[in-house]
Chains A and B, each alone.
Chain A
């Protein structure tokens, strides 16, 4: 479905465009926060990590701005049909993106606690996992900007790769801890990093599901989503 801005009331189009712009900016910042946090982790760059923590405030501020604008638009324009669905999705998407930002911040905060862990073999795996997650977030928000339901479905399918990565990293870290008991504390931090990345992937899926709803008016069928991962490890860790 093409994004058409042709309301009789032009101010309505302006509100919608502003809303879309804010959400794109917010998504871009969240994606950047993730990549910077992982770079900081990889290189032990404390300055970059501190910057990620600082920049998270901007993501929070954008969330508040979108919420305010969406509430105002609902009150003043009484949107209907796809416009209404977009307002509801916007509110939900920004709260998800805000969570993604928080996870990035959480990763950044762990950098200072893990000086001696550069040699842990899980780190390259985490870097690969994070680039997949960043792509998912990017594509989920692109699917929102382009009203692309197919891209949204593909995001949910690809989330399975993130889950597979998580299971693999979980096993790697557990093995590493058994062999290197003095790195248990650092490994535990890396486990949380992996868990954060896995959650971010789930949130990208949530965004994709909202986009699907905006575009089609239907909720995504279970069969269209990626199969639920058999991540016994993830279940254990959650429980």
Chain B
């Protein structure tokens, strides 16, 4: 395979020579990768390999860790997201995140989804907000299940529904990128399948990056896979190539279950 095959024509996000440190400890070493809107990118690798750290550097979630320091350049639409002029709140609206455990606000289903658009000023009127909430819930595949109980608490939903609610919440502010950090690890296979189907539906509308420990899931939902190990990006390639014929021995050992 030539390098050209892997080029992303119009990258949404571009990371160049990124290092991440927690105090003296270097967690990410010189990682460069592009993320596009038409392709779902999966980050895989053993626990502690830095994939989540790197994911969190893509919307400056690491800012919340006092000792964390990010160097190198990360761009969103060509703009340096670590530039002093960057509005972090705005950035996190454009680069949304879904976490391992569903974390709905202890508020109604409606408010969970409507909160972001409201504070970002996306919905001048209640009618506008109704439209945004419905559209986000439809896109997240949750509308039919909750349309008659929008005022019930989000925490009353099942785990799988809560996770889709969190995805609806991320979608509601009309992001450009969605980062998912093991979004299905707390879900049963049916709820997992629904999230995976959702990722499939959302592909092309948003640039999606998913961190997963589930090899089959990475193979199912992504078109590009990046394998991280000990803070470095060991191999990046088409998902089909990574899982049938990885080029690096370390990738092979990991995906075939020989690691460690």
Contacts and interface: CB of A to CB of B under 8 A. Distances in A.
B215 A8 contact: no
Interface stretch (A32-40, A58-66, A80-88): A80-88
B185 to A, nearest CB: 17
B216 A83 contact: no
B258 A80 contact: no
Interface stretch (B47-55, B134-142, B166-174, B239-247): B239-247
Nearest to A216: B245
Contacts of A84: 243-244
A80 B245 contact: no
B256 A81 contact: yes
Contact of A8 (B244, B245, B246, B257): B257
Interface string A1-39: 000101111001000000000000000000000000000
Interface string B216-248: 100100000000000000000000000111100
Contacts of B252: 81-82
A77 B216 CA distance: 11
A7 B258 contact: yes
Contact of B259 (A8, A77, A217): A8
A78 B258 contact: no
Interface residues of A, number: 17
Contacts of B251: 81
Interface hub of A4, A81, A85 (most chain B Cβ within 10 A):
A81
Contacts of B208: none
Given A7-B256, A12-B257, A78 B215 contact: yes
Interface string A63-97: 00000000000000111111111000000000000
Contacts of A78: 215-216
Nearest to B245: A217
Nearest to A9: B257
A192 B21 CA distance: 73
Contacts of A217: 244-245
B243 A81 contact: yes
Nearest to A77: B257
Nearest to A79: B256
B255 interface: yes
Contact of A6 (B215, B216, B245, B258): B258
Interface in A71-126: 77-85
Contact of A81 (B216, B245, B259, B260): B245
A81 B258 CA distance: 12
Contacts of A218: 245
Interface hub of B216, B245, B251 (most chain A Cβ within 10 A):
B245
A6 B258 CA distance: 6
Contacts of A85: 244-245
Contact of B244 (A9, A12, A81): A81
Interface hub of B243, B246, B252, B258 (most chain A Cβ within 10 A):
B258
Nearest to B255: A80
Contacts of B215: 78, 80
Contacts of A82: 252, 256
B5 to A, nearest CB: 15
Contacts of B216: 78
A218 B243 CA distance: 14
Contacts of B260: 8
A221 to B, nearest CB: 15
A7 B244 contact: no
A81 B256 CA distance: 7
6 contacts: A7-B257, A80-B219, A84-B243, A84-B244, A85-B245, A217-B244
Given A7-B257, A80-B257, A82-B252, 13 more contacts: A4-B258, A7-B256, A8-B257, A77-B257, A78-B215, A80-B219, A80-B243, A80-B244, A80-B256, A81-B244, A81-B252, A85-B245, A217-B245
Interface of A: 4, 6-9, 12, 77-85, 217-218
